Amino acid sequence: MKKVFALVLTLLMVMMLFTSCSDGGVAMNDSSYNKSESGYTTESTTTSDDVAKDENALARKIIKTYRIRMETLEYDVAAALITSAAERFGGYISEATQEGVSSTSSSYTTRSATYTVRVPAERADAYIEHISGDCNVLSSSLATQDVTDSYYGYQARLDSLIVQEERLTAMMEKAQTLSELLTLEDKLSDVRAEINGINSSLQLMDKSVTYSYVYVTLKEVKEYQEPEAESYLSRLGASFVGAFESFVTVVGEIFIAFVWMLPYLLIAAVIAVIVIVCTKKRKDKKNKTDIEKKD
């Protein structure tokens, strides 16, 4: 049972490693952009040393999260464009909500909607430019999360576990006693459970890197207002919200992975109990034999 608890603890550590940006060399690089007459301008903290490292490093694993808040005079057209453009650019709508608010001074009804869109990372900028062309953009931002170190750390651990799996399988073929076979099966079950957990984490990171998050807020208005300058506090708040949403997403995916591995954990627990019972019986029998010899 101790090994089962250890496996659960390992899953929790995987979650913490993935969501942490300060441990294991994971770096968080935030940037923002605002739409102007010349397009989007970007603020970046990239240095020449970082560029030099990237040139010699493995493929970077960057998760991008976009946020755009805009208003429109033609709500139905803009809302339809957000959905259709997601498919056109190779993405999809993962979540959408809409609500209408009736004005007390007139019969006019304003509507608003929020969308969570997943778009291929290389086409996210083009998608945002496309859907915002006929709207008034109030604010927009981009947050990036570098999970390169975590990704290749998990990959190295996975390679090591695969080697262990092969060795344990070979040893099981040569096992001569039931006790030895059960012990090897127990270890092999633990290794395979950890392999499945790491594979799930790698798949989640791959998907998050390949498909960027685009959070769109659309509001219907009678006339446009002037775009507001993004303050430091609003950028800080957006970064906090983005980190929290990423944390919730990771926790949800890890819980799904845990449920998927639950049968393997139960099998490992049963095998562990059998091994413990067999070992205890063997020790009791040996102790009984030693006592009989002394008598």
Strands (E) in 185-289, as ranges, are 211-220
Q: Is the pTM of this model over 0.85?
A: no
Tokens of 128: 């945002």
Q: Which of 140, 263, 158, 160 is nearest to 205 (CA)?
A: 158
CA dihedral 240, 243, 246, 251 (to 10 degrees): -100
Question: Can you give the pLDDT at residue 25?
Answer: 36
Question: Can you give the pLDDT at residue 117?
Answer: 95
Question: Can you give the pLDDT at residue 107?
Answer: 52
Cα atoms in the 13 Å half-sphere on the side-chain side of 139: 13
Give 148's contacts (C-beta < 8 A, 6+ positions apart): 26, 57, 58, 60, 61, 62
Question: Can you give the pLDDT at residue 37?
Answer: 35
- What are the structural domain ranges in the chain? 2-283
Beta bridge partners of 66: 142, 214
Tokens of 200: 């799930």
Cα–Cα distance list, 186 to 63, 271, 272, 283 (Å): 37, 6, 6, 20
Tens-level pLDDT at each residue, the chain (295 residues): 444 444 444 555 545 544 444 333 333 333 333 433 334 433 333 444 454 444 444 688 999 999 999 999 999 999 999 999 999 999 999 999 988 765 444 555 689 999 999 999 999 999 999 999 889 999 999 999 999 999 999 999 999 999 999 999 999 988 888 988 999 999 999 999 999 999 999 999 999 999 999 999 999 988 876 655 566 676 677 677 777 776 767 667 777 777 777 787 788 888 888 888 888 888 887 777 777 776 6
Cα atoms in the 13 Å half-sphere on the side-chain side of 272: 15
